[in-house]
Structure formats: structure tokens, C-alpha cells
A = this chain, B = another copy of it.
Amino acid sequence: MEFMRQRIARDGRALDGNILLVDSFLNHQLDMDLMREIGLAFAERFQGAGITRVVTVESSGIAPAGMTALALGVPLVVFKKRASRITNGTVYQANVQSFTKNTQYEMTVSTKYLPRGERVLFIDDFLAMGEAALGAAKIIKEAGCELVGMGIVIEKAFQPGRKRLDDHGHEVYSLARIRAMSPDGIEFLHEIC
């Protein structure tokens, strides 16, 4: 979407070829009007797909996912990051590697909030290696729900995440796809995505 590319071009800053700072509007200081616009864009794309809940991962997915859930009129379920595996059967979990932060965590959700048969839209702020998205997909499948689509605010198209999700057959919709970046500038993919 043009509004997202414009905002990244104006306020984003590539530290190098890998790290994009968007903390002035997306994940530390948040422009809530932009979040509303993001939510409306995802809702418009997946309107008519029978979505019954939106899911995301704490914490920077919450604002864009919340605005999407509001626009679609469905609940938001926030997957938590836990340090350790819980084995009492009340939660679904997936081990997720965060390459950006060089850590790993157990993506965790109560079984209560992902009942069988739900039609789920996953929303996240970034897609890079695709680890969080694949972890969420694993949990959604284990719960007996259908992952209808994935909405990504910023896709680093030069990293393997998008291809991994495509290979799994997931429907991915990114508001902005970055082809390459450096401190000198950010180059976008402009095809229909």
C-alpha cells in the first residue's frame, strides 16, 4: 500500500542492509491514526473471508492487530512469549527463534482462546525469517483452526520468510515489501502483493 511505503520512506531508517528502525511510528512511539489505517487495509483485504478471530504475538503486533480486529468486529488473541515450555495441556506452544534478537521463546496461547473451527487471521509488524509466522501457523493447525491469511505490515522481501510461508501455502498480504535497503535509502517491491 502506498501509504505504508510513503511512511517508511519518510520516517524509517535503515541502519544497514538488515536493520530497519521504525520506532518513531510503529513499535516504540506509535502513530495510532496510522495503526487505524493499517487495520482498515487488512480488514478490507480479508473482508468476506469469514474471519472469526485475529491473532498476533506480543508486543509490537498488538496495535496493528487490534485495529484489524476492531475493523473486522472479531476478538483479538495475543500469543504470549514465555521463557519455558508448559506441559499441563492448557496451552498450545511453539518454539520460536528470534534472529533479530538472537533469543528464543515459547509462543504460548491458552487452548480456551483458540477453540477448534475458528477462521484465523494472523497479523504481525514484521516478516523476515518467518519464524514467528510459522510458529503461529503450527499452533493454529494444532488447535484445529483454519489459518485464512497472514497480514504483515513490513516485509523484508530480501529475507527468506516470504518464500517459506509461500511454500507452506499460506496466503500472505504485506502492506510494504522492502526489496533492499541501506543507510542511503530503501527500495520497495511495487507489484501487487
- Give A residues with C-beta under 8 Å from B: 23-24, 27-33, 35-36, 58-59, 62-63, 66-67, 69-70, 73, 75-78, 80, 109-110, 112-113
Instruction: Tell me which residues across on chain B come within 8 A of A112, comparing CB atoms.
Output: 24, 29
Closest to A79 in B: B28
Query: Given the complex of chains A and B, what is the CA–CA distance between A82 and B75 in angstroms?
Result: 29
| Docked complex Cα distance between A29 and B59 (Å) | 14
Q: Are B63 and A32 in contact (CB under 8 A)?
A: no
For the residues of A in contact with B, the DSSP-based class is: mixed
Q: Given A35-B70, A70-B35: A28 and B63 within 8 A (CB)?
A: no
With known contacts A36-B70, A59-B62, A75–B31 Cβ distance under 8 A: yes
What is the minimal beta-carbon distance from A69 to any residue of chain B, in angstroms? 5
- Say yes or no: B75 contacts A32, CB within 8 Å: yes
Residue of B nearest to A63 (CB): B66
Which of B30, B66, B77 sits near A75, CB closer than 8 Å? B30
CB distance from A25 to the nearest CB of B (A): 8
Q: Which residues of B contact A78 (CB under 8 A)?
A: 27-30, 59
Beyond contacts A33-B73, A62-B62, A62-B66: 18 other A-B pairs, Cβ-Cβ < 8 A, are A24-B112, A24-B113, A28-B78, A29-B76, A29-B77, A29-B78, A29-B113, A30-B69, A30-B78, A32-B66, A32-B70, A32-B75, A35-B66, A36-B70, A58-B58, A58-B59, A63-B76, A66-B67
Residues A28 and B80 in contact, CB atoms below 8 Å apart: yes
Complex contact A29–B62 (CB within 8 A): no
- When chains A and B are docked, how far (Å) is the Cα of A27 from the Cα of B113? 11
Closest B residue to A69 by beta carbon equals: B32
Give chain B residues whose Cβ lies under 8 Å from the Cβ of A67.
Answer: 32, 66
